[in-house]
Amino acid sequence: MPDMDAGDFQQRYYSSADGLTLYARDYQPEGAATAGRLPVICLPGLTRNSRDFHPLALFLCRDETAPRRVIALDSRGRGNSAWDENKANYNLAVETADVIAACAAFGIERAIFIGTSRGGLILHLIAATRPDLLEAVILNDIGPAIAAAGLALIRDYLNSGRKAANWKETAEILQENHGASFTALAGEDWREMTLALYRDIGGRPVADFDPAIAEALQSVDLSQPLPELWEQFESLSRFPLMLIRGENTALLSKETVEEMVRRHPSLVLHAAHGQGHAPLLHLGNIPAAIEAFLANFR
């Protein structure tokens, strides 16, 4: 089981436009090795963080023929980024501005972006407001429309209130909640997931995000149509695009995927077999598929 804090990366801190201290992991190979290759910037899901990308980031930055700099961000209120006293700031517009601030802080003028779930929604907004930052995009189990049933599942398990007493029990609870949709995961994978999603506080695992982020989902009226981002997807469809869809996802419907392909005929679609929402990007043949997609760009 890999150590989520071991490997070739620098811990970086930067400030948001409103002065919050935010965090990123910067996997930066020796300068000459990248030979001017565009970096990859990774944006995590709703309650996930930069550790989610750790194995994939190591894979990409250590590629023998085409290593790339990889920057994985912690959104505000997640991981090592500061929690926001104004809980209303946990929204897509503010978090999009945070990503733009990260690019400015790290001197990134253009990059290939990977967005998991909420991170992919942010990329829709970046395509509409700062398209100059995008060279290509990989969306991980997300599109311009999300299924209410899938969001309800996320809301319910995030607000279940069940707390684990130790790391072993945490892995067991994760497997209990997600085992039916993540049949590709083995025992070590579940333990690895706990290290990505939880931090140790006094010897006990604690979910590594501001609880207000999960609480906000309880106020969403899922009986009403959810907002959609098809207009922003039109901006996104101008770029090379790869979509990874969990075989067992409840959040990204086949109908939405079909419409995305219709609007972006050159979209590269990859199925994450035996995974639900959101697929772990370092398992199975996903890293090789991402590597093949990246090979199209300097």
Give yes or no for a contact between 102 and 24, defined as CB atoms under 8 angstroms apart: yes
pLDDT in tens, 44-85: 999 999 999 999 999 999 999 999 999 999 999 999 999 999
How many beta carbons lie within 10 A of that of residue 6, not counting itself? 9
| In a domain? residue 137 | yes
Q: Which residue type occupies 233? A: F
Percent of the chain predicted with pLDDT > 70: 98
| In a domain? residue 128 | yes
pLDDT of 232 higher than 60: yes
pLDDT in tens, 173-214: 999 989 999 999 998 999 999 999 999 998 889 999 999 999
Burial (CB < 10 A; 0-12, 13-18, 19+), residue 297, is middle
pLDDT of 2 higher than 80: no
pTM: 0.96
What's the number of CA atoms in the CB half-sphere (13 Å) around residue 255?
A: 4
| In a domain? residue 141 | yes
Spatial distance between the Cα atoms of 78 and 139, rounded to a whole number of angstroms: 20
**Tokens 């959609």 found at:** 228
**Tokens 């829709």 found at:** 124
Residue 94: give its domain's CATH number.
Answer: 3.40.50.1820
Q: How confident is the model at residue 29 (pLDDT cuts 50, 70, 90)?
A: confident
Give yes or no for a contact between 252 and 141, defined as CB atoms under 8 angstroms apart: yes
Domain residues for the domain of 132 are: 10-147+227-294
pLDDT of 1 higher than 50: no
Estimate the crossing angle of helix 54-61 against helix 286-294, to 10 degrees. 50
Give yes or no for a contact between 290 and 56, defined as CB atoms under 8 angstroms apart: yes
Lowest mean pLDDT among 103-112, 129-138, 197-206: 197-206
| In a domain? residue 162 | no
| In a domain? residue 242 | yes
Average pLDDT, the chain: 94
| In a domain? residue 173 | no
Q: Which residue type occupies 81? A: S
Structure tokens at 36: 């001017």
| In a domain? residue 276 | yes
Domain count, the chain: 1
Q: How confident is the model at residue 6 (pLDDT cuts 50, 70, 90)?
A: low
| In a domain? residue 58 | yes
pLDDT in tens, 152-173: 999 988 887 677 889 999 999 9
